[in-house]
């Protein structure tokens, strides 16, 4: 028995000595924010913020923090930064949903479009939901669990028929009133970059023939427009996933564009990222034991050495 044990130990040591050094996986924290939805046309509702998933400080939709990924060196991982939604451009068209953002196995859903008062149409559901129109007491669209909240309800009451605000990553969009558009829901603050920054604000809603448009949610949401001005909703802020604001009514105007998303990765400062073709991004210097890569546009692969 003793000889057998010794032989087993010798064989084990020999096998290990003949192999290359084992390199353990390393941990990557992430913030993945999708593109925001656009606001609705003609006293339109606010666009919903892009879905937000994060492993640092807080995540979207009031969920528990996401789990960091354990990754291998010299291996490609997919990244896509979702574009913000375009305006509908037609009187009967509502706001449009933003595009999804992806990092490896993590997908955040594009924000829902705000409903238009013309025909009560719009692509409402999303990472955070778009608001409902002020032309039929339309409810806002639902958000996605652990990514964002629902949009607010529109108000079909004279004189100004306020639309509902777009949902944010951290709060439901505000309801419209007879004189005001609903405010966009606020976004989520995270310190993944080393300082606190807020992402994922919903768009404010517009009103009809006077009244006061809703404010955009913190984290890049665009403001809704006062009725009677013929003004397009404010655009969501680039690389925040903010929803676009609802357009003015009487005269009617388009909703604002959704803000594009962003992917931010945090990893040990002993590692260096390669950001592949098709992606736009930068790597920070080491700080606090980490480096961070901020990827602002495109689709492609990243890897580490």
The strand pairing partners of 290, in sequence order, are: 268, 287
Question: 270: closest CA among 54, 24, 75?
Answer: 24
Span 203-221, average pLDDT? 97
- pLDDT value at position 137? 85
Q: Tokens for 213? A: 């448009």
Question: 95: closest CA among 115, 120, 125?
Answer: 115
- Break the chain into its structural domains and give their ranges: 26-305
- pLDDT value at position 305? 96
User: Could you give the percent of the chain with pLDDT greater than 90?
Assistant: 84
- pLDDT value at position 22? 72
Between 293 and 94, the higher pLDDT residue: 293
Q: How confident is the model at residue 11 (pLDDT cuts 50, 70, 90)?
A: very low
Whether the CB-CB separation of 192 and 174 falls below 8 Å is answered with no
The CA distance from 199 to 61, in Å, is: 12
Ranges 30-44, 81-95, 221-235: which has the least confidence: 81-95
**Structure-derived torsion over alpha carbons of residues 143, 279, 188, 83, reported in degrees to the nearest 10:** -40
Whether the CB-CB separation of 108 and 32 falls below 8 Å is answered with yes
Q: How confident is the model at residue 6 (pLDDT cuts 50, 70, 90)?
A: very low
- pLDDT value at position 120? 65
Segment 193-207, tens digit of pLDDT: 999 999 999 999 999
List of E strands, 109-260: 188-190, 197-199
pLDDT at 7 over 90: no
b (16+ CB within 10 A) / e for 124-146: bbbbbbbbbbbbebbbbbbbbeb
| pTM of this structure | 0.91
- pLDDT value at position 23? 75
Q: Half-sphere exposure of residue 156, counting CA atoms within 13 Å on the CB side?
A: 11
- pLDDT value at position 91? 59
The CA distance from 180 to 79, in Å, is: 40
Q: How confident is the model at residue 2 (pLDDT cuts 50, 70, 90)?
A: very low
Q: How confident is the model at residue 261 (pLDDT cuts 50, 70, 90)?
A: very high
DSSP annotation of 135 reads T
Rounded to whole angstroms, what are the CA distances from 253 to 42, 43, 52, 173, 203? Answer: 5, 8, 29, 21, 15
Question: 249: closest CA among 222, 224, 223, 230?
Answer: 230
Span 20-46, average pLDDT? 91
Q: How confident is the model at residue 92 (pLDDT cuts 50, 70, 90)?
A: low
pLDDT at 259 over 80: yes
Rounded to whole angstroms, what are the CA distances from 156 to 8, 203, 280? Answer: 81, 19, 44
């Amino acid at each position: 028995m003793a000889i057998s044990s010794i032989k087993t130990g010798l064989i084990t040591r020999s096998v290990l000595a003949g192999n290359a050094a084992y390199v353990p996986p390393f941990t990557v924290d992430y913030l993945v924010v999708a593109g925001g939805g656009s606001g609705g046309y003609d006293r339109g509702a606010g666009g919903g913020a892009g879905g937000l998933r994060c492993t640092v400080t807080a995540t979207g939709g009031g969920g528990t923090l996401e789990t960091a990924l354990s990754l291998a060196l010299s291996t490609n991982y997919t990244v896509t930064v979702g574009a913000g939604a375009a305006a509908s451009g037609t009187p009967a068209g509502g706001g449009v949903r933003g595009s999804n953002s992806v990092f490896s196995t993590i997908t955040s859903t594009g924000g829902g479009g705000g409903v238009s008062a013309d025909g009560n149409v719009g692509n409402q559901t999303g990472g955070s939901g778009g608001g409902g129109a002020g032309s039929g007491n339309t409810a806002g669209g639902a958000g996605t669990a652990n990514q964002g909240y629902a949009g607010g309800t529109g108000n079909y009451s004279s004189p100004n028929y306020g639309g509902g605000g777009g949902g944010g990553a951290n709060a439901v969009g505000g309801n419209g009133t007879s004189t005001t558009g609903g405010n966009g829901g606020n976004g989520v603050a995270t310190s993944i970059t080393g300082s606190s920054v807020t992402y994922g604000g919903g768009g404010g809603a517009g009103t009809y023939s006077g009244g006061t448009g809703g404010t955009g949610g913190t984290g890049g949401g665009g403001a809704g427009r006062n009725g009677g001005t013929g003004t397009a909703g404010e655009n969501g802020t680039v690389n925040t996933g903010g929803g676009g604001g609802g357009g003015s009514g009487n005269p009617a105007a388009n909703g604002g564009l959704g803000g594009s998303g962003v992917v931010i990765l945090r990893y040990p400062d002993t590692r260096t990222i390669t950001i592949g073709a098709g992606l736009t991004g930068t790597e920070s210097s080491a700080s606090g034991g980490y480096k961070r890569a901020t990827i602002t546009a495109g689709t492609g692969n990243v890897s580490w050495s």
